Amino acid sequence: MYGLTSGLAVVFILYPVMAKGRSNHEGMCSAPITLPPICADMPYNTTKFPNFLNHRNLDDAAIEANQFYPLIKTQCSSSLKFLVCSTYFPYCSPLVGTMPTCRHICENSKRDCESLMNSFGFTWPSPLNCDKFPDKKDSVCLDMEPTTIKPTTTTTTMKTTVKLRTPKRKRLPNHKGMCSSPTTLPHLCSDMPYNTTSFPNFLNHRNLEDAALEAHQFHPLIKVQCSSSFKFLVCSTYFPYCSPLVGTMPTCRHICEDSKRDCESLMNKFGFTWPTSLNCDKFPDKKDGSLCLDMEPTTVTPAQTTAMEATVKPPERKRLRYRRLLVLLRKTAGDIRDSMQFLYSALSP
């Protein structure tokens, strides 16, 4: 690899190539916000509107989500609160985009709580129709147990190891400790759009220093800018992005294939082959529905997915007249009274 470094240093002088910049991930999600009290202990603070139910802002979503407060307080299900909060205030990551909740979270909540609702004359709410949520086996979705992808010596493809156990305690799982605290990546990767990673990485480096030592050997090839995606490939492989709700993710295969297509001929001219540590067959294919890190973030919106398809168009905002406002306030007061009566009945011995 020392020969690779020396040879490519010469290439840097003789073979300058302009590269296209990486996509800008800013502006995809909201700035860190304070979620309503009903969801204040959710393990994230970024979301995006309109949500999957076409609420245009936080206030609109909070009004409807608060109607589930009495049912959540009964603790009929350990997953109901996660279901409500992640549906009305979907988790948004600047590298992944917004994600719908996994169907089994909805099904578990419905199984645990529907009988209680029926005993008080209520039916399972249509906004939480479980058929609208994607199946974890087929789609990328948000789970209470984060997805952790680990390297394996028995296969050439990175597979996902998912914990499917149900939490024994009726509270949200603790996602702390899955990722590193915000850290400063090595200079080579200092402009990557994230600052949390996890070790060991997919190449079994145990810490940041070991990964940086090997990753730095690609510095000359990155400097010649033979590919607009090669730097992203190296950095996201040696220092994988880690989210407290998604876990660590491998890079999508097409990023590797694009980099190899653009840079391999240059390496061959100087007697080098494509490095085995970046064997593209080891990276998951985005087309198969695998969870992977792309330079273009995956954003799930009602217009792009049938799993969370919205059938009702968002209402146009109109100024309320005094009489209409009075009717709305009376109706809200009635809803609150009904909710409190339901809670009192549910909690009464």
Contact 65, 42 (CB under 8 A): no
Residue 165 main-chain phi, psi, to 5 deg: -70, 150
Q: Using CA atoms, how far apart are residues 237 and 201, in angstroms rounded to an integer? A: 8
Q: Count how many Cα atoms sit within 13 Å of the Cα of residue 290 in the half-sphere of its side chain.
A: 24
CATH topology of domain 37-144+302-319: Frizzled cysteine-rich domain (1.10.2000)
pLDDT on residue 160: 34
Q: How far is CA 238 from each of CA 206, 251, 266, 294, rounded to the nearest angstrom?
A: 11, 10, 22, 15
- Contact between residue 113 and residue 140 where contact means Cβ atoms under 8 Å apart: no
Mode of pairing for the β-strands spanning 97-98 and 148-149 = unpaired
Q: Return all residues near 168 (Cβ < 8 A) that are at least 6 apart.
A: none
Pairing state between β 242-243 and 247-248: antiparallel
Check residue 146 and give its pLDDT: 58
Phi, psi of 161 (to 5 degrees): -105, 115
Task: State both tokens at 39.
Answer: 């969801």
- Dihedral over Cα of 202, 203, 206, 211: its sign: negative
Residue 271 burial (C-beta neighbours within 10 Å; 0-12, 13-18, 19+): exposed
Q: What secondary structure letter does DSSP report for 97?
A: E
pLDDT along the chain (349 residues), means of 10: 47 37 48 88 89 91 89 91 94 83 94 90 91 88 65 37 36 49 87 88 90 87 89 94 80 93 88 90 86 69 42 47 62 64 60
Q: Say how far apart CA 222 and CA 263 lie, in whole Å.
A: 10
The pLDDT, as a whole number, for residue 70 is 85
Q: What is the C-alpha to C-alpha distance for residues 160 and 206, in angstroms, rounded to an integer?
A: 20
**pLDDT for residue 280:** 95
User: Tell me, what's the pLDDT at 155?
Assistant: 34
CATH topology of domain 2-22+150-288: Frizzled cysteine-rich domain (1.10.2000)
Q: How many residues does the chain have?
A: 349
pLDDT at 343: 59
Which of 223, 200, 166 has its CA nearest to residue 17?
223
Q: How far is Cα 133 from Cα 135, in angstroms, rounded to an integer?
A: 7
pLDDT at residue 10 in the model:
41
Rounded CA-CA distance 2/21 in Å is 28
Give me the residue label for tokens 């940086």: 212
Longest dimension (CA), the chain: 82
Q: What is the pLDDT of residue 32?
A: 84
The Cβ of residue 30 has, within 10 Å, a number of other Cβ atoms equal to 15
What is the structure's pLDDT at 303? Answer: 41
| Rounded distance between C-alpha atoms, residue 347 and residue 190, angstroms | 53
Q: Enter the tokens of residue 5.
A: 């470094």
What ranges do the domains of the chain cover?
2-22+150-288, 37-144+302-319, 320-349
DSSP class of 215? H
Whole-model pTM: value is 0.49
